A = this chain, B = another copy of it.
Amino acid sequence: MEWLDSIKWDRDGLVPVIAQEAASGDVLMFAWMNREALQLTAERQQAVYFSRSRQRLWHKGEESGHFQQVHEIRLDCDNDVVLLKITQLGHEPGIACHTGRHSCFYSVLRDGAWQPVEPVLQDPATIYRQPKP
Protein backbone atom coordinates (compact mmCIF):
# COMPACT_ATOMS: atom_id res chain seq x y z
CA MET A 1 0.00 0.00 0.00
CA GLU A 2 1.27 3.38 -1.02
CA TRP A 3 0.92 5.10 2.36
CA LEU A 4 3.03 2.37 3.95
CA ASP A 5 5.69 2.82 1.28
CA SER A 6 6.02 6.48 2.31
CA ILE A 7 7.41 5.48 5.69
CA LYS A 8 11.17 5.55 6.09
CA TRP A 9 11.62 2.28 7.96
CA ASP A 10 14.84 2.04 9.96
CA ARG A 11 17.57 -0.57 9.41
CA ASP A 12 15.50 -3.07 11.40
CA GLY A 13 12.37 -2.38 9.37
CA LEU A 14 10.76 -0.47 12.25
CA VAL A 15 9.37 2.99 12.89
CA PRO A 16 9.12 4.68 16.31
CA VAL A 17 5.59 5.36 17.51
CA ILE A 18 4.32 7.82 20.12
CA ALA A 19 0.91 7.10 21.68
CA GLN A 20 -0.84 10.24 22.88
CA GLU A 21 -4.18 10.25 24.69
CA ALA A 22 -6.62 12.10 22.46
CA ALA A 23 -8.73 13.61 25.24
CA SER A 24 -5.99 14.78 27.63
CA GLY A 25 -3.01 15.22 25.33
CA ASP A 26 -0.95 13.07 27.72
CA VAL A 27 1.88 11.14 26.11
CA LEU A 28 1.22 7.62 27.37
CA MET A 29 3.89 5.46 25.82
CA PHE A 30 6.44 4.96 23.09
CA ALA A 31 6.92 1.77 21.09
CA TRP A 32 7.84 0.46 17.65
CA MET A 33 5.95 -0.86 14.65
CA ASN A 34 6.95 -2.83 11.59
CA ARG A 35 5.02 -2.61 8.36
CA GLU A 36 2.53 -5.30 9.32
CA ALA A 37 1.88 -3.72 12.72
CA LEU A 38 1.12 -0.33 11.22
CA GLN A 39 -1.14 -1.84 8.58
CA LEU A 40 -3.06 -3.80 11.24
CA THR A 41 -3.28 -0.70 13.43
CA ALA A 42 -4.90 1.23 10.59
CA GLU A 43 -7.26 -1.61 9.68
CA ARG A 44 -8.41 -2.40 13.23
CA GLN A 45 -8.18 1.12 14.62
CA GLN A 46 -6.47 -0.49 17.58
CA ALA A 47 -2.77 -0.17 18.31
CA VAL A 48 -0.64 -3.14 17.24
CA TYR A 49 3.05 -2.71 17.95
CA PHE A 50 6.12 -4.81 17.23
CA SER A 51 7.82 -6.02 20.40
CA ARG A 52 11.57 -5.79 19.93
CA SER A 53 12.26 -7.94 22.98
CA ARG A 54 9.88 -10.69 21.90
CA GLN A 55 10.39 -10.13 18.15
CA ARG A 56 6.72 -10.51 17.37
CA LEU A 57 3.56 -8.47 16.85
CA TRP A 58 2.11 -7.14 20.07
CA HIS A 59 -1.56 -6.26 20.06
CA LYS A 60 -1.55 -3.81 22.96
CA GLY A 61 -4.07 -5.07 25.51
CA GLU A 62 -3.89 -8.72 24.41
CA GLU A 63 -3.01 -9.77 27.97
CA SER A 64 -4.32 -6.89 30.06
CA GLY A 65 -7.48 -6.08 28.14
CA HIS A 66 -6.21 -2.50 28.01
CA PHE A 67 -6.58 -1.98 24.28
CA GLN A 68 -5.84 1.32 22.60
CA GLN A 69 -8.54 2.71 20.35
CA VAL A 70 -6.90 4.70 17.56
CA HIS A 71 -8.56 7.94 16.43
CA GLU A 72 -5.84 9.35 14.26
CA ILE A 73 -2.50 8.28 12.76
CA ARG A 74 -0.01 11.04 12.06
CA LEU A 75 3.40 11.05 10.38
CA ASP A 76 6.21 13.55 10.89
CA CYS A 77 7.97 15.74 8.34
CA ASP A 78 10.77 13.22 7.79
CA ASN A 79 8.36 10.30 7.35
CA ASP A 80 10.14 8.36 10.07
CA VAL A 81 8.07 8.82 13.23
CA VAL A 82 4.38 7.97 13.80
CA LEU A 83 2.07 9.68 16.30
CA LEU A 84 -1.15 7.93 17.36
CA LYS A 85 -4.05 9.79 18.95
CA ILE A 86 -5.71 7.16 21.11
CA THR A 87 -8.16 6.35 23.87
CA GLN A 88 -6.65 3.99 26.42
CA LEU A 89 -9.37 1.44 27.19
CA GLY A 90 -9.95 -0.95 30.11
CA HIS A 91 -9.65 1.35 33.11
CA GLU A 92 -10.59 4.89 34.08
CA PRO A 93 -8.27 6.75 33.94
CA GLY A 94 -6.49 4.72 31.27
CA ILE A 95 -3.52 2.54 32.18
CA ALA A 96 -0.94 2.37 29.41
CA CYS A 97 2.07 1.36 31.48
CA HIS A 98 2.94 -2.18 32.55
CA THR A 99 3.63 -0.79 36.04
CA GLY A 100 -0.09 -0.01 36.40
CA ARG A 101 0.35 3.72 35.84
CA HIS A 102 -1.51 6.01 33.46
CA SER A 103 1.61 6.88 31.46
CA CYS A 104 5.01 5.26 31.05
CA PHE A 105 6.58 8.70 31.53
CA TYR A 106 6.09 8.85 35.28
CA SER A 107 9.66 9.72 36.30
CA VAL A 108 10.78 13.34 36.43
CA LEU A 109 14.33 14.63 36.76
CA ARG A 110 14.50 16.59 40.02
CA ASP A 111 17.59 17.57 41.97
CA GLY A 112 19.74 15.33 39.80
CA ALA A 113 17.64 12.18 40.21
CA TRP A 114 14.69 10.47 38.52
CA GLN A 115 11.68 10.65 40.79
CA PRO A 116 8.39 8.83 40.18
CA VAL A 117 5.54 11.35 40.32
CA GLU A 118 2.54 9.36 39.06
CA PRO A 119 0.55 6.91 41.19
CA VAL A 120 0.08 3.21 40.46
CA LEU A 121 -3.62 2.97 39.56
CA GLN A 122 -3.86 -0.81 39.63
CA ASP A 123 -1.55 -3.54 40.88
CA PRO A 124 0.08 -5.06 37.77
CA ALA A 125 -0.37 -8.52 39.31
CA THR A 126 -4.13 -8.07 38.92
CA ILE A 127 -3.84 -6.67 35.38
CA TYR A 128 -1.97 -9.44 33.64
CA ARG A 129 -3.26 -12.95 33.31
CA GLN A 130 -1.23 -15.38 35.35
CA PRO A 131 0.10 -18.40 33.48
CA LYS A 132 -1.90 -21.53 34.32
CA PRO A 133 -0.10 -24.05 36.56
Contact = CB atoms under 8 A, between A and B. Distances in A.
Contacts of A26: 25
Contacts of A24: 25
Q: How large is the interface on A (under 10, 10 to 19, 20 to 34, 35 or more residues)?
A: 35 or more
Interface stretch (A60-68, A86-94, A98-106): A98-106
A29 B77 CA distance: 9
A66 to B, nearest CB: 14
A107 B27 contact: no
A99 B74 contact: no
The 8 closest A-B pairs by CB, nearest first: A25-B25, A76-B104, A73-B109, A74-B105, A30-B81, A83-B105, A75-B107, A77-B104
